[in-house]
A and B are shown apart, each in its own frame.
Chain A
Amino acid sequence: VTLREALNNVESGAFAVRMNAASDLATFQRRSAREPAVLTLASCVLDRRAALTVLHAALQLTGERGDFRFEHPHDTALAVYVLVLAGAHPELARVLAEHALSVPRLWWAQRIARTILLGEMWGTDEKAKHFVLGLPIAGPGIDHSSIGVRAQRIVTGLFRPEPRTQSLELTAEPDRRSSSANRREPHLPGERHGSACHHYEVPSVPP
């Protein structure tokens, strides 16, 4: 099973039906560890490029909000993506977890995100607020060692009812040494040819 096949499987309706037979988070997590596609993903994301592909796939899914009357259509897949990233790259899981908190109508994904972020807050508080990570986003012509992730979480209000803001910036410098740098294909939604910027807009939601 390839990474792509595993991603497709995790995003399928049949997978969601099986996983959503769980009534609580612990059972959901146990169940996920028995799914072949999840095990494949967990193995794949040990490689950082694959982990970034998963993060990218997850960020794309968060943009598909579906019908506002119903639960987010990709809640199950997003929850699994946070879980598998948490196993191999906690810093990437944290990035996705923070973003998941701003996506409306998630069930499992937000629960897992809260678990990760609250555990983090109770643990190393200062590190949780500001951190610099090693990379994301795959693409031809990108030297992965040059890619950095910078994320800042403003924790004020995390336990309070008022809305809080958070920002995430993923940055990557094209590999100047690579001859293919200028032939890089766009890989992010909304990417403009000739542009190096991508913006995911997440509307603020009142508490």
Chain B
Amino acid sequence: MAAMIVGGDVWPPGRRLALATRQGRDIDNTQREEWPAFRLRAGAELLGRDFPEAELRSLSASYNCFGLAFATRRTCIEPEQLAMILHDDGYRQVADERDVRAGDLALYRRRDGQVEHVAIVLRVDPDVGAARFRFVVLSKWGANGEYVHELRHLPLTSGLEVSVEFYSERRMP
């Protein structure tokens, strides 16, 4: 009995877009192949059961959360690119939650220091009773849909505890 596998390869896989930071440095990225509609819808149905409060905005597999935040939904960006993008695009950390505004970014950082997810802040509502702020954000859940959700109501997948940091590129000349 024998099995023979013969072939060439695709190297590297995926389509890369010309993308750069504000200072002109290349942002490595790969456009992911799209998923068929039935698969996207099935995923949305499953996630809708686990996160019923989340509002589905759009369904596409071709970009990830970093691509949503930094490439206007065109492609996937790896978190390794994040430090360069934040630096070159003039982002700074917003230390006080009271200073967070719509349009700022929420970075979900694991205990090992790696950023696992990013979301765009849509709304900041004061929760007077709880003496804190309630953040409504927009983010892309991997290859699944793009959702409007509460800051911590999302399927983070590493299983590690994450802390949320806010960043802004706002300029007030």
Contact = CB atoms under 8 A, between A and B. Distances in A.
Interface size class of B (residues with CB under 8 A): 35 or more
Contacts of A69: 34, 36
Contact of A205 (B4, B8, B116, B140): B8
B103 interface: no
Contacts, number: 173
Given A23-B65, A203-B7, A198 B79 contact: no
Interface of B: 1-14, 32-36, 39, 42-43, 46-47, 61, 64-66, 76, 78-79, 114, 116-117, 140-144, 155-160
A23 B64 CA distance: 6
B7 A170 contact: no
Nearest to B14: A107
Q: Give 9 closest A-B pairs by Cβ, nearest first.
A: A202-B7, A204-B8, A102-B7, A71-B33, A31-B157, A168-B5, A170-B3, A20-B143, A30-B158
A30 B157 contact: yes
6 contacts: A16-B43, A17-B43, A23-B140, A30-B158, A139-B1, A202-B8
Interface residues of A, number: 66
Nearest to B62: A71
A167 B3 CA distance: 10
A148 B1 CA distance: 10
B157 A137 contact: no
